[in-house]
Amino acid sequence: MHFSDPSAVPRRRVFDRDAVLAAAEVFVRQFAGENPDAGDPARRIAQITAEVHRTGTYEHTPAELAFGARVAWRNSARCIGRLYWNNLTVRDLRQVEHPDDVAEHCFEHLRLATNGGRIRPVISVFAPDRPGRPGPMLLAEQLVRYADDPRSAERVELAKELGWKGGETPFEVLPLLVQPGSRRPPEFYEVPEDAVLEVPLTHPRHPGFAGLDLRWYAVPAVSDMALEIGGVVYPAAPFNGWYMGTEIGSRNLGDADRYDRLPAVAELFGLDTSSERTLWRDRALVELNLAVLHSYEQAGVTIADHHTESTRFLAHIAREDRRGRPVPTDWSWIVPPLSGSATAVFHRYYDPPDPDLRPAFIHREPAPPPVCPHVRA
């Protein structure tokens, strides 16, 4: 197998002290500008300069880490749910590096974020990259993914190469794959049942919908991006908000290259699929999305609909505008994949995404295949 995931092994970063210092100064001045009690930024910059010259990097204070993580969410051009960026719960786990400990804290992240169904935005920040000592990484798009999801195919194969015996039943949760900071092979960990809240899908008007045996999980915890703050990179920093219904109904379950359930929904509702002009796909999408929203509400699990979330996003833009801050936005990601032109976010322009804006969640750079004796290059 050729495992091409960019997070397959730790990045061998070249630490450019001047670049780290330049990024640190920009961040410290931003931190001081938005936190009047932070004190004179010049003093903090001098401390960081001495530390970088001594070690090649520096350590954020807890307050800097929390601020940086929250601003990274605020800067996320593809996220429609940024109104609550300042309410992100930040778990400072920078001393955690061993795969066993990383996995256990990831499971605790899921429990904390689930909160009995009242989903809390949470980020868990593990050890950063340091000169000659890369931090650990998570080899998954999200902390929870299903093995029968076509997007999971390569990770399922890697997990089996590592010794996992599962993946034979529908909606089976993939094990968590943790890549140590060293060149050792990844480790896999079964996700405990009490860490994953799942919602069986039913429909408010069609009892037969339950017979489709669809479900989805409660917490969308993204785990394949690094967090960069002031020149320091945290390669493992899983974070979550809550789902917008269309992410599940239109994309995860509806896309042809994912679960492709629109034909089954159309058949259940007796829709005419003989021609695209009957708009059977559109009608099936509405019913599937309605089932998602209904099921999560019935289960007491936080979820947003795309119309409400669109209005909230414009409120976020207005609030940020009053503070003189731009809101970088990728229109193609902000406009929902269902009834886009009927939502408030469709009919306007936005500040373009800025790839150099920091703090930020960044996609990790491509790397060679993992060092695993069972994986063929």
11, 82, 91, 358: the active-site residue: 82
Residue 247 annotated among the catalytic residues of the structure: yes
Interatomic CA distance for residues 317 and 322, integer angstroms: 9
Residue 242 annotated among the catalytic residues of the structure: yes
79, 106, 228, 309: the active-site residue: 79
Radius of gyration of the chain (CA): 22
Beta bridge partners of 179: 137
Cβ atoms of 24 and 358 within 8 Å: the answer is no
64, 247, 287, 309: the active-site residue: 247
DSSP 38-69: G--HHHHHHHHHHHHHHHSS----HHHHHHHH
Interatomic CA distance for residues 73 and 10, integer angstroms: 23
Cis status, amide bond into 238, omega within 30 of 0? no
Residue 333 annotated among the catalytic residues of the structure: no
Residue 82 annotated among the catalytic residues of the structure: yes
Backbone phi and psi for residue 369, each to the nearest 5 degrees, phi listed first: -60, 160
Torsion of CA 203, 206, 212, 216, to 10 degrees: 0
DSSP 204-256: SS-GGGGGG--EEES--EE-SEEEEETTEEES---EE--EEHHIIIIIITTST
242, 309, 364, 372: the active-site residue: 242
Residues belonging to the active site:
79, 82, 242, 247
